[in-house]
Structure 1
Amino acid sequence: MTVTAPDGTSTPSVLFVCVRNGGKSQMAAGLMRHAAHGRVTAHSAGTEPGTAINALSAESLAEVGVDISGESPKAIDPALLRDVDLVVTLGREAKVDAPAGTTVRNWDTDEPSERGIDGIERMRLVRDDIAVRVSKLIGELGSDVC
């Protein structure tokens, strides 16, 4: 849901979704919060939430000044799903049955493990791919958000 402030400016909202909500969707939400400086409300959720944040995801974000260590995986809230301006699924596995009128996009993110790249190097590549996409999305949501 876009929130309009008393000064007439609006804040768009985005829900990032992956399967476990421990890695990619948390990274996307953290990167969005960091890059948009409060001018986009970012949420994250999972279709089958895990139990913890992926430690390497958190470490790779900490390297660029983004802290998601206080986050925890959560399921999709139906009210939030209905009210956000945009839902972005990350990867090939997360599927969201959004209500009519809710825009859903998929980011088929880089998967370095398919090329034999694992560990923190993998997470850095995933982070950088998501960061580029987040930056472009901020631009799409409005030049006053940048």
Structure 2
Amino acid sequence: MRDNADQSVRCLQDFEGRWQLTRQIRHADGVQAAFSGDAVWCPDADGLIYCETGVLQMPGSPPMQAERRYLWREGLQVYFEDGRFFHQVPARGGQAEHWCDPDTYVVHYDFSDWPAFSTSWQVSGPRKSYEMRSRYTRC
């Protein structure tokens, strides 16, 4: 992790460590869900492993434990845990996309409040339609 919090270009090492994560999910039909937990970027031989763990709360259901993992590599390339490419994080913030036939995932990374940052996903297609906003704050 670099000491210069004002650095406008992010690199892989900037994310290493533990972050508090809060997330709001709003489905097109009006149903809303919330996630609260931690996101941890840990070093491995090829970059960083991202693991988020926490509690997902959905209307009409008891809270449930949730977990997600990704592989982060040089150039801020993000891969699914099985090694398939997901998307590339714009180093200055901005938009990236992922096509998962037949659904489209569009994300916006906002690093303007670094060392806190946010992501906003817009997911659309015949199978999925929701917006997901996440906020990451250093622990």
Structure number having the greater helix percentage: 1
Q: Which has the higher contact order (CA 8 A, sep 6+)?
A: 1
**What's the TM-score bracket when you normalise by the shorter of the two chains?**
under 0.3
TM-score, normalisation: structure 2: 0.27
TM-score, normalisation: structure 1: 0.27
